[in-house]
Structure 1
């Protein structure tokens, strides 16, 4: 049995689906609070399996996490659960501290007590894999070397600061208690089932709806884009073979400006779902840049490639096309995930960004 936190979210949901689609015959319990970004529709295809279990629980709930670990007795924990949207962290930083810092501490503490009491060989085989972000490293200038595992932490938003805090707790539990942890820090993910507040799904859905395609500032912010399926493959490798106490940065080796990403989406849509007249690029709208907006992220994945044999299966072009086609073919999922809460937040946020 493995325990996954945040398995109804974007990356966690893809991980759970791939777990059962692959060669694994091991049961899995999914612990998710089901905030606005948690969506059980993502997991509808596996929800009736006898080896899949779901617990609607906040990871900051000490008693419930203790109960779940004792009940399911996992041989590993894969920790995705996090508040992850930078814009929301600016308006409500407290929620990010509670989930990302306090929640991770509670999960570590309950897992440590459980691990302490395990007999051998289960104790030596237990793993806690913590999934984090490259945003903890701050920002890069155009010619700076890419982030690697030894890059100093310089978080610039409440979101990245809260994830940096969780990373430090995980590190401390290894060095203080010998707790068997592995950490991964990934670049920007994209792909199926991503909640439509992030750049790529926002642009796809706004384009189809005839709405403005919002781009912060001048659109020259650079991100390294990683297809979510490739990220999940890297996590499985780190879980199986990662060295204890080590960090592995995971990237797609696909640096693109936001403007390049948006134009690429418009080009694909122009081909597969053309407008009545003109290009979707005509809907591009520039909005006021957000505070503390990092200029560039880039990942040097040499360590995970060399040690664990990781190699992304997707280029940005193939992954983006698959993503656009997925959103075009999954209207029911999109409709159900776009709750009133989400729609109200988007309308309010981008109205403020445009100075309305």
Structure 2
């Protein structure tokens, strides 16, 4: 039986990867110390998800290892001897990172280095998949020619119609403290690939979403927005007239891509992995879509102050992903994704 180690196994992508590879018959080791509860309080707690995995997945084994513990990480990898590592654990919030910069960097950058070095000491032939972020590009996408339409901001140049590619520069832009720590991790994952010849890749995600997300205001755009609609709570729009655009990818399609990479790994690669143009939506458009599903009018308030480093319009160009892995494609559209998240929140609040 093949084995895989998944960090952040209680989170959105981590839990989806656990489910996915468990169904494939892999032995799945989950690593999660529920740091989200520390970062976001009770609303960010992932204990419910970890318990769900323990019941639903027959090949799942959980470890409460802190990735900041260098010695513990190294010893765990040597003991478990995984045949792949998928690194999903992170401090994911722009806003929180500014108030807790050491915690943010220690989890995102140092934790990633601990895993890479622990793996290198065990084997340089084991694939390492890192969940990076589109925030490594900072706010540079905001300097593109962006035009205002009725419900969304849009790229004004045909060159960027399909979105941002992996060649887009990451320098000379504001990343937020969170974005900077993720840049450090991203570059280190690439370097372990190129310098040590290890099969590694960075997945620079757009808006990652799905029904297992513990969305909160500081993190989890769609999940939190849909929760607000269900509970009839005010949602705060931060700047850009609510027309800011994100491309959303369901966690299941992320897991499907990871499988493709593990089948045919490459060294030191980078992929922009989002929903692409077909799964792009603005906040105002998201309000309309969830209201059509729930039958409830969206309640919201508006703040003129946008979040520092926030993107006005971000769409992932999936050309490289599809060229390298032609068997992969988006399978879950926006309507289905919204419906799944809505039903999940209803079940959790019942």
Query: Does TM, normalized by the shorter one, top 0.5?
Result: yes
In the other structure, the counterpart of 2:164 is 147
Q: 1:266 aligns with which of 291, 299, 305?
A: 291
1:304 matched to 2:321? The reply is: yes
In the alignment, is the contact (CA less than 8 A) between 1:2 and 1:26 conserved in 2? yes
Change in 2 beyond 3 A, CA 1:13/1:50? closer
- Structure 1 unaligned regions, length at least 5: 117-122, 275-279, 333-356
Q: Over residues 169-209 of structure 1, what are the superposed CA-to-partner deviations in whole Å (9 max), with x where a residue is unaligned?
A: 11111222222212211110121121121222222222333
In the other structure, the counterpart of 1:338 is none
1:128 matched to 2:128? The reply is: yes
Q: Separation in 1 of the partners of 2:98 and 2:310?
A: 11
Correspondence 1:147-296 to 2 at 5 A? 147-154=164-171, 156-197=175-216, 198-217=220-239, 218-253=241-276, 254-270=279-295, 274=296, 280-281=297-298, 283-287=299-303, 288-296=305-313
The alpha carbon displacement at 1:129 in A equals 1.1
Q: Which has the larger radius of gyration?
A: 1
In the alignment, is the contact (CA less than 8 A) between 1:212 and 1:285 conserved in 2? yes
Q: Over residues 30-88 of structure 1, what are the superposed CA-to-partner deviations in whole Å (9 max), with x where a residue is unaligned?
A: 11121114513214344155632111011110111112111111111111111112221
In the other structure, the counterpart of 2:348 is 330
Q: Separation in 2 of the partners of 1:216 and 1:190?
A: 20
Change in 2 beyond 3 A, CA 1:90/1:266? farther
Correspondence 1:8-47 to 2 at 5 A? 8-21=10-23, 24-35=24-35, 36=37, 37=44, 39-47=46-54
User: What's the RMSD between the two structures over aligned residues?
Assistant: 1.9
Q: How many residue pairs end up in the alignment?
A: 313
Bigger mean CA deviation after superposition, 317-326 or 6-15: 317-326
In the other structure, the counterpart of 1:346 is none
In the other structure, the counterpart of 2:85 is 77
TM-score by length of 2: 0.84
Change in 2 beyond 3 A, CA 1:235/1:38? farther
In the alignment, is the contact (CA less than 8 A) between 1:190 and 1:226 conserved in 2? yes
In the alignment, is the contact (CA less than 8 A) between 1:225 and 1:251 conserved in 2? yes
The alpha carbon displacement at 1:262 in A equals 2.3
Q: Separation in 2 of the partners of 1:220 and 1:90?
A: 25
- Structure 2 unaligned regions, length at least 5: 38-43, 147-154
Change in 2 beyond 3 A, CA 1:195/1:113? same
Large movers: runs of 4+ above 4 Å: none
Is the partner of 1:285 in helix, strand or coil?
A: strand
Q: Separation in 2 of the partners of 1:86 and 1:180?
A: 29
